Amino acid sequence: MAHKVIISGGGTGGHIFPAIAIANALKRLQPDVEILFVGANGRMEMERVPAAGYEIVGLDIQGIDRKSLVKNLGLPFKMLDSLLKARRLIKSFKADVAVGVGGYASGPLLMMANALGLPTLIQEQNSYAGVTNKRLGRKASKICVAYEGMDKFFPAQKILLTGNPIRRSSVQIEGREREGLASFGLQEGKKTLLVTGGSLGAKTLNDCVLAGLDSFVEQDIQVIWQCGSYYYEALKNTLVDRLPANVVLLPFLQRMDYAYAAADFVVSRAGAGTISELCAVGKPVILVPSPNVAEDHQTKNAKALVSKDAAILVSDISARTNLVDTIISLANDEAKCFELSEQISKLAMLDADETIAKEVLKLIR
């Protein structure tokens, strides 16, 4: 009889991509495994998961709105409704194990799984555990983490250091530099910078690149500038007729492998999934953590790399005065680039998806 796995969570790409990677790994290891995703209605996973070929059911759950107390009045009722729906889903699907990757839906689903005596596995992407995962960790059977020192959040005997599952297609860059440069219309033999603020973009990074365009032209640095779909039109209109030939402005990157392959160094936010990809890619990186995340976890993610000489950190608040100078300094320091590349490559954990999938199957057996 086929094993049945229920995977819950989402909200951002940082939760959804690992969840899909775990599902794909389960299918590789045990092709007849049945998988059901549980997400939050109206969130990104409700589109991304079906696009990856998996069934998903939505819970009517949301996070706490810190800006409007009125919007939080219905939360207890939504939570109760989500718990009851999670119970029905687990029983009707006849799940053997439940996996939570973080995000709104993982709370009620794993709480109910624990209440029903189902084995549960948590995948914590960040170096600082979120409130929901800390609570769920008390009853979880196994907790897969990407950073050392997570025993300050979870019972040590349940922790397994696996790294974060990554999109394998995004980090397969061997021998693709020429192809990558050509896809962006850039030249071989010139220093190339990749700036990425994630799918939504990052205003700080965009402001810094905009201010540094003349400096990049002077230094003959090519730029792949992924600005985010939210900012793209305004930037395109601002730069109409004056975007330098060596700068490619894009709302998002369809082929991350080409972008990583073309880049000599990278400026990025410090989301857990992005960092895991950067470790696999092994390029020198400057991290500018987003301050708009719970528990300032991106700064903690970045510091975990900086402590191993694997990245440079520029704070969001100082980026507008320091980032462009830091980029140019790094571009002209081959020894530093080599050191950063060496150290970040040591942190790559390429088989996290299969390691976690094996743990999921062990919990069933």
**246 labeled binding residue:** no
10 annotated to a ligand binding site: no
Nearest Cα neighbor of 287 from 333, 340, 242, 250 is: 340
- In a 3-state reduction of DSSP, which class is residue 181? helix
Nearest to 14 by CA among 268, 304, 187: 268
Residue 137 is assigned to a ligand binding site: no
User: Was 14 annotated as part of a binding site?
Assistant: yes
Q: How many residues does the chain have?
A: 365
Strand partners, 161: 145
Residue 2, CA distances (Å) to 6, 31, 234, 286, 354 in order: 13, 9, 51, 46, 19
Enumerate the H helices of the chain as residue ranges: 13-29, 45-51, 75-93, 106-115, 131-137, 168-171, 177-183, 203-218, 229-238, 256-262, 272-281, 297-306, 316-331, 334-346, 352-364
Instruction: Give, in degrees to the nearest 5, the angle at Cα 140 between 166 and 28.
Output: 35
DSSP class of residue 225 equals E
Instruction: Give the whole-angstrom CA distance, residue 112 versus residue 333.
Output: 54
Q: What are phi and psi of 46, to 5 degrees?
A: -65, -20
**Spatial distance between the Cα atoms of 71 and 82, rounded to a whole number of angstroms:** 17
Q: Flag whether 178 is marked binding.
A: no
Residues 352 and 164: beta-carbon distance below 8 Å: yes
Is 88 a known ligand-binding residue?
no
In whole angstroms, give the CA distance from residue 160 to residue 351.
13
Helical pair 75-93 and 106-115, crossing angle rounded to 10 deg:
60
* Residue 125 annotated in ligand binding: no
Query: Which residue positions form the known binding site?
Result: 12-14, 126, 167, 199, 298
Query: Which residue positions form the known binding site for UDP-N-acetyl-alpha-D-glucosamine?
Result: 12-14, 126, 167, 199, 298
